[in-house]
Amino acid sequence: MWYTYIALGLMAGITSGFLGIGGGSILIPVLIYFFGLTQHQAQGTTLAIMIPPIGLLAAWKYYSEGNVKLNMAAFICLGFLVGGLIGAILVHKVSAPILKKVFGGLLFLISLHMILGK
């Protein structure tokens, strides 16, 4: 089974490095629909996955090409750190079916905006 996990990580990593997405939009749905995780488990697992690899090699490549604004990233990182904790506390007060609908709705709205927007 480990090779399927590596293949999923490779697919999500390529998508993340290429489009800047992968965690929420690729990993979470795959973990739910193909691996049988709950919405909470998929989100928690994805957060654990993203800690070491994404912040290192992909960001370094973008940085080496002059495509990282460090001053902006540092402050967003600080907010993300605190916001991630607040979100992790709040999410356990929401049922899995509601969370799945909120997650799917958000992805749907974002996709509509990106497809139909200017």
Q: What is the DSSP secondary-structure string of 47-59?
A: HHHHTTHIIIIIH
- 82-117 pLDDT tens trace: 887 888 898 889 898 998 898 888 889 988 987 998
Does residue 18 carry a pLDDT above 80? no
Token output for 47: 């957060």
Query: CA 96, CA 118: separation in Å to the nearest integer?
Result: 34
3-state percent helix, strand, coil for the chain, nearest multiple of 5: 80, 0, 20
pLDDT at 43: 82
